[in-house]
Structure formats: structure tokens, C-alpha cells
């Protein structure tokens, strides 16, 4: 490499670092905007879920169905659009989705839109940082944990923005997503940072683009599914408490009543995990083919290989449990969280704590 080329690559690496830190600053602003969305949304009256859960006791007609409201508009009666009702996986509760983080208020919605706009801007800046890093090393920017972490958070935010663009009701995830992205980038820039360098010999292959890219995509989307699963568990407990005549605290009510119903969250997580499980299967197969090309064997029970397989088995068990009547609901949700925990351990724990042919964490 000529001195001029080396200087250009160094400048690109510095630009990448600058863009990453700039994206963190914008993500922080998005975090504050999401906080404002939840705060202003809490000022509205969001007791719709509790009313729906108790309506069967007080209203004749369809059991558990929210009453259709009639409001006056001049001299004409106008029927409000009926709320969407989804059936719980356990088949015990029919509950409408909440109004979202904004709580149905104009102020809350304004801050929510600002938060999404800032998240989009931060995503563009971070993606540019990943591209600059790739240009500085002249390869796929996935050669160490620092680069993997940058791409992981970028893909996670990109998936979230795609769901929003498809008109999916996922803005409730914004605060959690931005918080974890900031945590991911903080860990990456503080403890995992690795200067621009060339790959270890085993990674010099076109399979780097195929195998690692699919692993990143799967991990990012599995994270979104895990987020929905965690919120499902909280929302399910909240609905069960209301159905049993309990009285949740004011804070719990304010938060839980604005989320989608437990059934909606459960269905969301299941569809996300089921859609990308085949891609994770392909990731493992691609890794085995790459191992055969690089090391002369397709499978050697390396720690990374073992935990990738354990993660696959865990998600397979979850999908099977989700389709089995006795394991729907919370039991299946625990399996989904265990599967994602295996993925996280496979990334952080195996790369940092265990030794093997995949021990090129760069930290």
C-alpha cells in the first residue's frame, strides 16, 4: 500500500469514527423525544383496555366487545371506527390495542414524530459511518466485534424504520430500541473499538459477505422479536391482573394501556422470529461451507459453532411450542427469550471468554 493510500484510509477511518459519535448524539436527542412522547401521552385518559376487559359484565351483546360509540356532529350521528380486537393465544381474553406511546394526544404524537425523524437521521449518519469504515479497510466491515456491533445496531434501526414505512404499529418500540442502540454503540466505542486493520487469514473469503451479513440481519431482527416478547410478558400479566379484579398502579396502567394487546405482541414476535428462522438456518449452513473451505472440515464443534447450533435448536423449539396448544403464550415466550439469550451469549460470551477458531474478537 502506498503512503498516499494509507493516509486516505486513515482519514476515512477518522471520518467513520466522527460519524459514529455524531449518530450517538442524534440518537440521544431521539431518546429524549421518545421520553417526551411517553410523558405527554400519559396526560391523556387511556383507560380503554380496562373498560374493554370489564365491558362484558356490564353490557349486553357480544361478550367482551368494546361498545360502539356514537358522537354528535351537527345534526348527524357518526359512528366511531371500531377498535381492533385481537384474541389472546390462550383464548381467554379479547382486548383492544392501546393508543400507542403518544396516548392519542396531539402533543405526544408530535414528539413521537420528532423522535422518528431524529432516529431516521441518526440511522443515515451511522450507516454512512459503516460505509466509511468499509472504505477505510477496503473490505466488508465485519472483521471484528467493533465493526459487527456498528452494523448490528444499524440493521436493527433499519428494520424498525422499514416496519414503520410499511405502516406497521411499532412506534411503541422506539424508546427501547434507541436506548439499546445507544448502549450497543457505547460498548462498541468504549470497550470493543479496534483500529482499522486487515482480516485474519481465515476471513479472506467471499463467504464473509454472505455468512456474516446474514448473521447480523438475523441477530438484529431477533432482537426486535425479543423486544416484543418481553413487552408481551408484561402486558399479559397486566391484562391478567385486570381480568382478575386487581388494580395495577398508576404508572403501570399509564404504560401498559398504551401498548398493543398481549395477543398482538405475541403474534408480532412470533411472525418476526418465524420469518427469519430460515435465514438463520442458512447462516449456519453457509458457515459450515466456509469452514470447509477455510479449515478443511465443515463442522468441528468449535464454541461458536456449538452455540450457533444451540441457538438454532432453541428457536426451533420455540416455533414448535408456539404451534402446540399446551405451550402457547408465556411458556413459548420464555423459550423465545432463551433463544435470543443464546444468540447474545454466542456473540459476546463466546467471542470474548472462550477460545476457538472464531477467536478474533479484536479486543
Residues 57-87 have pLDDT tens digits of 444 344 444 444 444 444 444 444 444 444 4
Average of per-residue pLDDT across 316-325: 88
**Least confident window among 44-53, 142-151, 243-252:** 44-53
Q: What pLDDT, on a 0 to 100 scale, did the predictor assign at position 278?
A: 97
Query: What's the grid cell of residue 150?
Result: 456498528
pLDDT above 70 covers what percent of the chain? 83
- Residue 328, pLDDT above cutoff 50: yes
Q: What pLDDT, on a 0 to 100 scale, did the predictor assign at position 81?
A: 43
Q: What pLDDT, on a 0 to 100 scale, did the predictor assign at position 21?
A: 97
Residue carrying C-alpha cell 444451540: 310
- Residue 4, pLDDT above cutoff 80: no
Q: What pLDDT, on a 0 to 100 scale, did the predictor assign at position 73?
A: 43
Degrees, nearest 5: CA angle 202-208-212: 115
Degrees, nearest 5: CA angle 203-282-131: 50
Residues 327 and 331: their CA atoms lie apart, in Å, by 6
Contact 245, 317 (CB under 8 A): no
pLDDT band of 221, cuts 50, 70, 90: very high
pLDDT above 90 covers what percent of the chain? 60
How large is the greatest C-alpha to C-alpha distance in the chain, in angstroms? 82
Average of per-residue pLDDT across 260-287: 95
Higher pLDDT, 156 or 196: 156
Q: Is the dihedral of CA 265, 170, 178, 255 positive or negative?
A: negative
- Residue 51, pLDDT above cutoff 70: no
- Residue 332, pLDDT above cutoff 80: yes
Q: What pLDDT, on a 0 to 100 scale, did the predictor assign at position 291?
A: 86
Residue among 103, 97, 92 at smallest CA distance from 82: 97
Q: What pLDDT, on a 0 to 100 scale, did the predictor assign at position 363?
A: 52
- Residue 270, pLDDT above cutoff 60: yes
pLDDT band of 50, cuts 50, 70, 90: very low
- Residue 53, pLDDT above cutoff 50: no
- Helices of type H across the chain: 3-41, 48-58, 106-137, 145-165, 174-190, 207, 213-243, 250-256, 262-295, 303-322, 330-344, 350-353
Residues 226 and 38: their CA atoms lie apart, in Å, by 21
Average of per-residue pLDDT across 212-224: 95
Contact 100, 46 (CB under 8 A): no
DSSP codes of every residue in 98-124: P--TTTT-HHHHHHHHHHHHHHHHHHH
- Residue 343, pLDDT above cutoff 80: yes
Higher pLDDT, 297 or 281: 281
- Residue 260, pLDDT above cutoff 60: yes
Query: What's the grid cell of residue 86?
Result: 385481537
Q: What pLDDT, on a 0 to 100 scale, did the predictor assign at position 357?
A: 66
**Judging by beta carbons within 10 Å of its beta carbon (0-12, 13-18, 19+), is residue 286 exposed, middle or buried?**
middle
Average of per-residue pLDDT across 91-114: 88
Q: What pLDDT, on a 0 to 100 scale, did the predictor assign at position 57?
A: 41
pLDDT single digits (tens) 138-152:
888 888 899 999 999
Q: For residue 96, what is the DSSP state?
A: E
Average of per-residue pLDDT across 111-119: 97
Higher pLDDT, 292 or 362: 292
Q: What is the mean pLDDT of the chain?
A: 85
Contact 26, 118 (CB under 8 A): yes
Average of per-residue pLDDT across 235-262: 92
pLDDT band of 137, cuts 50, 70, 90: confident
Higher pLDDT, 236 or 76: 236
pLDDT single digits (tens) 297-316:
888 888 989 999 999 999 99
Amino acid at each position: 500500500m502506498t503512503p498516499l493510500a494509507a493516509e486516505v484510509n486513515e482519514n476515512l477511518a477518522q471520518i467513520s469514527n466522527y460519524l459514529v459519535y455524531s449518530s450517538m448524539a442524534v440518537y440521544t436527542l431521539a431518546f429524549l423525544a421518545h421520553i417526551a412522547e411517553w410523558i405527554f401521552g400519559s396526560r391523556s385518559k387511556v383507560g380503554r383496555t380496562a373498560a374493554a376487559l370489564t365491558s362484558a359484565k356490564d353490557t349486553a351483546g357480544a361478550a367482551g366487545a368494546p361498545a360502539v360509540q356514537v358522537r354528535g356532529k351537527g345534526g348527524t350521528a357518526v359512528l366511531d371506527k371500531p377498535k381492533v380486537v385481537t384474541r389472546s393465544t390462550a383464548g381467554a381474553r379479547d382486548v383492544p390495542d392501546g393508543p400507542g406511546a403518544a396516548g392519542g394526544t396531539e402533543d405526544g404524537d408530535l414528539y413521537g414524530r420528532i423522535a422518528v425523524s431524529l432516529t431516521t437521521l441518526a440511522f443515515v449518519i451511522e450507516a454512512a459511518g459503516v460505509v466509511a469504515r468499509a472504505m477505510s479497510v477496503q473490505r466488508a466491515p465485519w472483521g471484528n466485534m467493533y465493526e459487527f456491533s456498528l452494523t448490528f445496531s444499524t440493521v436493527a434501526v433499519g428494520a424498525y424504520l422499514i416496519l414503520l414505512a410499511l405502516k406497521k404499529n411499532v412506534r411503541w418500540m422506539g424508546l427501547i430500541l434507541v436506548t439499546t442502540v445507544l448502549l450497543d454503540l457505547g460498548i462498541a466505542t468504549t470497550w470493543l473499538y479496534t483500529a482499522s486493520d486487515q482480516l485474519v487469514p481465515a476471513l479472506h473469503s467471499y463467504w464473509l459477505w454472505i455468512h456474516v451479513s446474514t448473521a447480523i440481519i438475523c441477530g438484529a431482527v431477533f432482537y426486535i422479536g425479543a423486544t416484543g416478547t418481553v413487552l408481551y410478558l408484561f402486558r399479559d400479566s397486566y391484562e391478567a391482573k385486570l381480568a382478575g379484579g386487581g388494580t395495577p398502579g398508576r404508572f403501570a396502567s399509564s404504560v401498559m394501556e398504551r401498548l398493543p394487546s398481549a395477543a398482538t405482541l405475541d403474534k408480532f414476535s412470533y411472525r418476526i422470529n418465524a420469518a427469519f428462522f430460515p435465514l438463520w438456518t442458512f447462516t449456519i449452513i453457509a458457515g459450515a461451507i466456509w469452514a470447509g473451505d477455510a479449515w478443511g472440515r465443515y463442522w468441528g464443534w468449535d464454541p461458536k459453532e456449538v452455540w450457533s447450533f444451540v441457538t438454532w435448536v432453541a428457536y426451533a423449539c420455540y416455533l414448535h411450542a408456539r404451534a402446540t396448544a399446551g405451550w402457547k403464550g408465556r411458556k413459548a415466550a420464555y423459550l423465545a427469550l432463551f433463544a435470543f439469550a443464546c444468540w447474545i451469549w454466542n456473540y459476546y460470551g463466546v467471542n470474548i471468554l472462550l477460545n476457538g477458531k472464531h477467536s478474533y474478537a479484536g479486543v
